[in-house]
Amino acid sequence: MPFFKRRRKNIHLNAGAKGDLVLSEEADVRVSGVFEGEIRVRGDLMVEKGATLRARIEAETVRVKGKVFGDIQASKEVELFPGAELRGDVKASSLIIRQEAHFWGQCEIMVQPLEEKKETSMSPEETAQFLEIDVNTLLQLAESKKIPALQDRNGSWCFDRVDLERWISENKLAPSSNEIKIGGPR
């Protein structure tokens, strides 16, 4: 064990800014001003009281005391404090909404953290073969959010075998059936 523990960088955004903040190294980000664009960090994001983000966010943990307009994907948790406002969808292992916080959107709680999903992830072609449907139908289902899927930063779709198996069992579907119906009578 090294004597000195490696520290994460700390970044503070306190003025109006527009653009993309994409960090490949570990860092924690605190926003106390206005930001518009995309934020992707390998660390924690804190949105301070009085701050406003119009952004797509990816981080380990996201804590909101201000306002966020956009989707959040967190490998660990998202926490909304009293007075916080979030208008967007959340995909995280945990969502904590404190009293007097406001949330408008959909939430998907991930059973396994994103790091573990890498081992069970499948490409669209592998997923189509697994479900025995064509790739175009699969991508339409993913885009309409009718099937569990993740879209990466480049817009490519990725599917998790564990999530798909759970989705199949919950919807009483069989991968070998020739027809996958979403909604309506079966």
pLDDT at residue 174, as a whole number: 53
Beta-strand ranges (E) seen in the chain are 9-13, 17-31, 34-42, 44-47, 52-64, 67-69, 72-80, 85-87, 90-97, 102-104, 107-109, 121-122, 150-151, 157-160
Which regions in the chain score pLDDT beneath 50? 1-5, 176-186
Amino acid, res. 104 = W
pLDDT at residue 3, as a whole number: 43
- Start-end of H helices in 73-182: 114-120, 124-131, 135-143, 161-170
pLDDT at residue 19, as a whole number: 79
pLDDT at residue 112, as a whole number: 53
pLDDT at residue 34, as a whole number: 93
Collapsing DSSP to helix, strand or coil, 180 comes out as coil
- Alpha-carbon gap, residue 167 to 161, rounded angstroms: 10
Q: Are strands 102-104 and 85-87 parallel, antiparallel or unpaired?
A: parallel
**Domains of the chain, first to last:** 9-109 (no CATH), 114-170 (1.10.1660)
pLDDT at residue 71, as a whole number: 95
pLDDT at residue 108, as a whole number: 87
- Alpha-carbon gap, residue 139 to 125, rounded angstroms: 10
Collapsing DSSP to helix, strand or coil, 88 comes out as coil
pLDDT at residue 135, as a whole number: 92
